[in-house]
């Protein structure tokens, strides 16, 4: 039976490892020992994986001990690839994971990257590390025989979309690529049992580029609609109504304005722009899109301040209920949450912010207690409610109840993502 080591048990690595473990022997490795303890009890703090998925993965072994990685046939790397403060790629964790692989690899092993990287990373960063430490050759020529001594590589990007139960690994097209034709056959055989459809990319670099542009395109599309929404605000036109109208045309793509957080859409474009600058081309559109999207919390804040002034409500010490602070709907993840960025800015203005979020795991965000239901909130109390991230499961109760918690005389409703009908809020994007 094949031995597969998956490095990094996060949003990407865990579901993949569990699926592979239905038929293969899988080592689910993570450096976070607390996470490993939880996973051994079939607890996934991200809420992405159901109990029945854990139960179906008969042949999984979770560990933070590298000794179990020895001699795996496949190493799949799914560790974070964030950006540094200066927005350049931070490949520290990827390099660390690669060193770990290099120390445990054997002849004929296949190393697959699922982490998102800029074009060229697999072969210019990871392969040299593996070659140096393992003293194995890199098998990257089609002319080389199947049993050539060395290791293979591949880049097989992940398309998992947290909070999205429809587009799971087993239901979408999986892009694969490999260092030569033998690598491709091995990688295809690995994924064919767990993915609906396989697409073989012409090269590792092409697959790396394809992944990065999927998210860059999305970022740009949202940036465009964010910019349009600023224009329409000045023209006193409702953006959602414009989108509904334009959306009746067969080739209009519907995107909605909003804050872009998380660790993919708002991060991956910087990987591409870094590489682009590296080869002598300064991209304009991609960076402009990033700037617009990164500025949305400031734009919303400015509008909130303006409404306070118009309504003659004192902003300082005002009581605000902020609804939803994960980085997007239906996920527990608060990393790079633009809602939290907005809350931080509101607090700098000396407002009192309470948070309501029924889904996130934290009980406190920025030392603010997180209310998990309406139950303990004061009625007739808040000057303002800001609806930011509205999880599907709670939409109806929120709609039914929110008014009770607002002061009845003067109040403000900020509905960032148009969860309420247009006339119910003072501001929406």
Ligand X SMILES: NC(=O)c1ccc[n+]([C@@H]2O[C@H](COP(=O)([O-])OP(=O)(O)OC[C@H]3O[C@@H](n4cnc5c(N)ncnc54)[C@H](O)[C@@H]3O)[C@@H](O)[C@H]2O)c1
Question: Which amino acids are annotated catalytic?
Answer: 264
Beta carbon nearer to ligand X, 173 or 376 = 173
State the CB neighbour count (10 A cutoff) for residue 156: 24
Nearest distance in Å: CB 260, ligand X: 13
CA 249 to chain centre: 30
CA 9 – CA 77 distance, rounded (Å)? 10
Q: Is 257 in the site for ligand X (CB under 6 A)?
A: no
Q: What Cα–Cα distance (Å) separates residue 241 from each residue in 246, 299, 319, 425, 428?
A: 9, 20, 31, 15, 12
- Of 153, 163, 108, the closest CA to residue 128 belongs to 153
Q: Is 96 in the site for ligand X (CB under 6 A)?
A: yes
Q: Is 162 in the site for ligand X (CB under 6 A)?
A: yes
Q: Is 242 in the site for ligand X (CB under 6 A)?
A: no
Site map for ligand X, 265-304, x if CB under 6 A?
A: ----------------------------------------
- Of 53, 74, 57, 70, the closest CA to residue 189 belongs to 74
Beta carbon nearer to ligand X, 35 or 205 = 35
Q: How many residues does this entry show for the chain?
A: 429
- Of 3, 17, 134, the closest CA to residue 71 belongs to 3
Nearest distance in Å: CB 37, ligand X: 13
Among 17, 60, 97, 260, binds ligand X (CB under 6 A): 97
Contact region with ligand X (CB under 6 A), list: 74-82, 238-246, 248-256, 370-378 = 74-82
Nearest distance in Å: CB 96, ligand X: 4
47 burial class (0-12, 13-18, 19+ CB within 10 angstroms)?
middle
Is 100 strand, coil or helix? helix
Among 78, 212, 390, 416, binds ligand X (CB under 6 A): 78
Among 79, 127, 222, 355, binds ligand X (CB under 6 A): 79
Nearest distance in Å: CB 230, ligand X: 28
291 burial class (0-12, 13-18, 19+ CB within 10 angstroms)?
exposed
Contact region with ligand X (CB under 6 A), list: 75-83, 127-135, 251-259, 283-291 = 75-83
Instruction: Return contacts of 164-170, CB within 8 angstroms, 24+ apart.
Output: 164/330, 168/15, 169/15, 169/16, 169/19, 169/194, 169/195, 170/19, 170/194, 170/195, 170/196
Q: Is 125 in the site for ligand X (CB under 6 A)?
A: no
Burial profile 60-96: b = 16 or more Cβ within 10 angstroms, e = fewer: bebbbebebbeebbbbbbbbbbbbeeebebbbebbee
Q: Is 160 in the site for ligand X (CB under 6 A)?
A: yes
Q: Is 261 in the site for ligand X (CB under 6 A)?
A: no
Q: Is 30 in the site for ligand X (CB under 6 A)?
A: yes
Q: Is 35 in the site for ligand X (CB under 6 A)?
A: yes
Q: Is 158 in the site for ligand X (CB under 6 A)?
A: yes
The residues that bridge with 353 in the sheet, in sequence order, are: 320
Is 171 strand, coil or helix? helix
Q: Is 116 in the site for ligand X (CB under 6 A)?
A: yes
Contact region with ligand X (CB under 6 A), list: 78-86, 182-190, 253-261, 386-394 = 78-86
Q: Is 93 in the site for ligand X (CB under 6 A)?
A: yes
Nearest distance in Å: CB 100, ligand X: 6
What does 306-324 look like in DSSP terms, one character per residue? HHHHHTT---TT-EEEEE-
Q: Is 32 in the site for ligand X (CB under 6 A)?
A: yes
Number of residues that bind ligand X (CB under 6 A): 28
Q: Is 328 in the site for ligand X (CB under 6 A)?
A: no
Beta carbon nearer to ligand X, 80 or 119 = 80
Site for ligand X in 335-394 (CB under 6 A): none
Contact region with ligand X (CB under 6 A), list: 93-101, 125-133, 202-210, 381-389 = 93-101
What does 227-264 look like in DSSP terms, one character per residue? HHHHHHHHTT--HHHHHHHHTTSTTPPP-------TTT
Nearest distance in Å: CB 263, ligand X: 6
CA 297 – CA 77 distance, rounded (Å)? 34
Among 3, 11, 356, 365, binds ligand X (CB under 6 A): 11
Contact region with ligand X (CB under 6 A), list: 77-85, 196-204, 315-323, 419-427 = 77-85
CA 419 – CA 429 distance, rounded (Å)? 11
- Binding interface with ligand X (CB under 6 A): 7-13, 29-32, 35, 78-81, 93, 96-97, 114-116, 158, 160-162, 263-264
């Amino acid at each position: 039976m094949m031995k597969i080591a998956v490095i990094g048990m996060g949003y990407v690595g865990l579901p993949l490892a569990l699926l592979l473990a239905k038929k293969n022997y899988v080592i689910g490795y993570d450096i976070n020992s607390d996470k490993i303890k939880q996973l051994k009890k079939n607890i996934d703090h991200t809420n992405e994986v159901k109990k029945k998925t854990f139960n179906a993965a008969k042949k999984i072994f979770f560990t933070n001990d590298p000794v179990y990685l020895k001699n795996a046939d496949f190493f799949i790397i799914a560790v974070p690839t964030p950006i540094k403060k200066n927005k350049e790629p931070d490949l520290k964790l990827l390099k660390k994971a690669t060193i770990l692989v290099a120390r445990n690899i054997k002849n004929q092993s296949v190393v697959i990257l699922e982490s998102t990287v800029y074009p060229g990373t697999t072969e210019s960063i990871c392969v040299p590390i593996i070659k140096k430490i393992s003293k194995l050759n890199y098998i990257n020529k089609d002319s080389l025989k199947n049993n050539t001594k060395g290791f293979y590589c591949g880049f097989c990007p992940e398309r998992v979309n947290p909070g999205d139960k429809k587009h799971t690994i087993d239901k979408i097209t999986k892009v694969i690529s490999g260092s030569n034709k033998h690598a491709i056959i091995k990688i295809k055989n690995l994924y064919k049992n767990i993915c609906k459809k396989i697409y073989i990319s012409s090269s590792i670099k092409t697959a790396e580029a394809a992944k990065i542009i999927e998210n860059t395109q999305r970022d740009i599309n949202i940036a465009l609609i964010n910019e349009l929404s600023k224009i329409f605000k000045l023209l006193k036109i409702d953006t959602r109504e414009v989108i509904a109208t334009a959306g009746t045309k067969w080739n209009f793509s519907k995107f909605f304005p909003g804050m872009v957080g998380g660790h993919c859409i708002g991060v991956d474009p910087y990987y591409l722009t870094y590489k682009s600058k590296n080869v002598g081309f300064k991209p304009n559109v991609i960076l402009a899109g990033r700037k617009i999207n990164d500025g949305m919390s400031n734009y919303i804040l400015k509008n909130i301040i303006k409404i306070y002034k118009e309504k003659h409500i004192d902003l300082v010490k005002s009581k605000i209920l902020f609804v939803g602070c994960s980085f997007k709907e239906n996920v527990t993840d608060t990393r790079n949450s633009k809602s939290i960025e907005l809350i931080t800015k509101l607090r700098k203005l000396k407002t009192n912010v309470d948070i309501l979020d029924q889904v996130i795991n934290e009980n406190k965000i920025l030392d603010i207690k997180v209310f998990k239901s309406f139950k303990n909130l004061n009625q007739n109390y808040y000057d303002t409610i800001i609806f930011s991230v509205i999880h599907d499961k709670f939409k109806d109760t929120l709609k039914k109840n929110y008014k009770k918690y607002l002061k009845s005389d003067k109040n403000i409703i900020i509905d960032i993502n148009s969860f309420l009908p247009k006339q119910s809020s003072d501001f929406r994007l």
